[in-house]
Amino acid sequence: MGEQQHVKFPQEVIDEYASLGVDLPALFSAGHLGNRMGVQILEASADRVVGTMPVEGNTQPYGLLHGGASAVLAETLGSIGSMLHGGVSRIAVGVDLNCTHHRGVRSGLVTGVATPVHRGRSTATYDIVITDEHDRRVCSARLTCMLKEVGGNDAQHLPEAGRLDGAGA
């Protein structure tokens, strides 16, 4: 669960990050919150990010997909799009997340698609639509990220899985 071996990043983006010692596909398979929740990134570019997440293991006491789990999927997808828009000199930091939950889901896989609303120099905003396996809307979300210039301490926080040299935090 959580392996990202089939992520579709544009080759020029992979090459740009590789020149800085970052294995971009491996970075998104690092064992953090999204990985623990089973988030799988299927496609990623500044124009569109697609990912899935299982309902099982991400439910609230009534057996429905937890709203917080939908928020994690939405913020993950929007942050990846923002990061890819910002390029290698900036990191994306979420500053506002809004989620509207439309229907409950008890099983299966949900799919999120993030598309840009605004891509500026200092902020990026993405709309994220999460649907169930029957293409019914489960959640509508909007994420705004601040695009922060990479500082000297930022590289040391890069997960080891994303470092081409194997040195990590």
Query: Would you please indicate which residues are annotated as catalytic (active-site) residues?
Result: 75
CB crowding 112-143: b at 16 or more within 10 Å, else e: bbbebeebeeebbbbebbbbbeeeeebbbbbb
DSSP secondary structure letter of residue 167? -
Give residues with Cβ within 8 angstroms of 137, minimum separation 6. Answer: 102, 103, 129, 130, 131
Q: Check: CB of residue 76 under 8 Å from CB of residue 39.
A: yes
Rounded Cα distance between 48 and 77, Å, is 9
